[in-house]
Structure 1
Amino acid sequence: MFQRDYFMRMIEQMTEAVGQILNLRRERKHEDALLYIDELLDKKFRLSSKLIRSLSDEDLMKMMTTNGILETDHLQAIALLMKQEAEVNAELEREDESFFAYLKSLHLFVRLALAGAEPTFAEPREMIKELQDKLLPYELPMKSKRLLLEWNVEEGRFDSAENLMHELLEDNALGLAEAEAIYRRMLLQTDSALEAGGLPREEIMLGLESLPGHHNV
């Protein structure tokens, strides 16, 4: 009962907070919106807003893990606030700040999806799609591509995973052994799952054979 009440309060508070940010944006009080986001980050998560922005998504996950349990609700809230911050900065035409906030939000939502987190404030998969659309005009860092590669494989989007894999191979950001392991992981799926994921078994076999120094399946 206590836990349910706690989550309900958090949901209510976050819904109210996002509503307040949207109101400030509508009133074109963008700097006030950014200050409000800062205050929320400072008050809610035991970490300063400056530290939250400076930590990598991996480090942030470690900080948000207590007794081996990931506080997914807190991470979702931070990811959602980072998305709001990105949108405010976009409206202010602060492209760099907007890009990095969108990217941090994307990384956190992908990691939440990979961790199988239940949606508290937002559905991670929906957020990932929206954030990817926002970031389409940009070349993503290799770290982001590797994370999205893992997520696409997990989600059964095998054609998208292969495209990312080739990009990473071309940039020497993925080892041949890693690429081979990903192809072999795909081969464990059923034919229907591979077809649905846009990469039939024959194409995977061809991709595997095209890797220099691959071992026969």
Structure 2
Amino acid sequence: MFERDYLVRLITQAGLVLAKAMRLREQHKQQEAIDLIDEFLGRELRLRSRLAMGLSDEDLLSMLSVTGSPNAESVAVVAAMLQEEAELLSDLGQTELSVPRYAKALRLNLYILRNDMEFEGWDVRKRVEQLLAALSPYELGVDTKLALWQWHESNGQLAEAENLLYELQEDEAVSAEEGFTFYERLSAYDDSVLESGGLPRNEMEEGRRQWGALMKENA
């Protein structure tokens, strides 16, 4: 009961902080808004944005875990604060700081979706759309591409997942076996699922043949 009360309070307070940060942004007080976000993270989650950015995703999720499993509310709040901070830093022209924050916020939100951790009153899917739009002008890092690859498949966006598989292969971030396993999963889907995912069976089979030829060529 105490934990649930704390999480409800955390979400409520986060909403208030985000609203205040947006007002400060409208007043062109970006640094004040950034300080507000950092102070909130430190007070509520014993976390500063610089520490969040310095940790791997796995270590950050571990830090946000209770009894071995991250709670969705804490992950969502950290993602939202990083997203807002990224917007503020972008306003200040600090792209080298804003883009990594957008990317980590995206990966955290995708973690929530992949693990069916959505909760009422917090639109994670809308945030994913916003973050993808913010990142669209930039080349994504391998860790973000991997998270998106998994998400596109689980979300039924199969053509997008296939495109990312080949991008990851160029980045040397997936193995031949991972690609073959991907196509094995696709082959088990009904035709209707493949069609709705933008990858009809004949195109999927052609992609599998191309993957096999590419792996043979690179062997």
Q: Same fold (TM over 0.5)?
A: yes
Q: Does 1:183 align with 2:183?
A: yes
Q: Deviations over 1:49-72 (max 9, x none)?
A: 432221121211111122123211
- Counterpart CA distance in 2 for 1:99 and 1:7 is 28
Q: Which runs of 5+ in 1 are unaligned?
A: none
Q: Which runs of 5+ in 2 are unaligned?
A: none
- Counterpart CA distance in 2 for 1:129 and 1:88 is 18
- Counterpart CA distance in 2 for 1:20 and 1:58 is 30
- Counterpart CA distance in 2 for 1:100 and 1:69 is 25
Check the 8 A contact 1:76/1:120 in 2, yes or no.
no
Check the 8 A contact 2:62/2:69 in 1, yes or no.
no
Q: Deviations over 1:82-135 (max 9, x none)?
A: 000000011111111111111111111111111111235632222112111110
Q: Report the residue type matching 1:147 in the other structure.
A: A
- Counterpart CA distance in 2 for 1:135 and 1:174 is 22
> SS of 1:211's equivalent?
helix
Check the 8 A contact 1:191/1:201 in 2, yes or no.
yes
Q: Which stretch has the larger CA shift, 2-11 or 64-73?
A: 2-11
Q: Does 1:22 align with 2:22?
A: yes
- Counterpart CA distance in 2 for 1:157 and 1:61 is 26
Check the 8 A contact 1:73/1:120 in 2, yes or no.
no
Going from structure 1 to structure 2, the CA distance change for 1:190 and 1:47 (only over 3 Å counts) comes to: same
Going from structure 1 to structure 2, the CA distance change for 1:105 and 1:166 (only over 3 Å counts) comes to: same
- Superposition pairs of residues 35-46 of structure 1, within 5 angstroms: 35-46=35-46
Partner of 1:111: 111
Partner of 2:165: 165
Partner of 2:151: 151
When the two structures are superposed, what TM-score results if normalisation uses the length of structure 1? Answer: 0.92
Going from structure 1 to structure 2, the CA distance change for 1:57 and 1:71 (only over 3 Å counts) comes to: same
Q: Deviations over 1:182-207 (max 9, x none)?
A: 11111222111111110011111111
Q: Report the residue type matching 1:208 in the other structure.
A: R
> SS of 2:212's equivalent?
coil
RMSD: 1.9
- Counterpart CA distance in 2 for 1:80 and 1:49 is 11
> SS of 1:212's equivalent?
helix
Check the 8 A contact 2:10/2:44 in 1, yes or no.
no
Aligned residue pairs total: 215
Q: How far is the alpha carbon of 1:30 from its aligned partner?
A: 0.8
Q: Deviations over 1:2-55 (max 9, x none)?
A: 555434322321111111101110111111011111101111113344322211
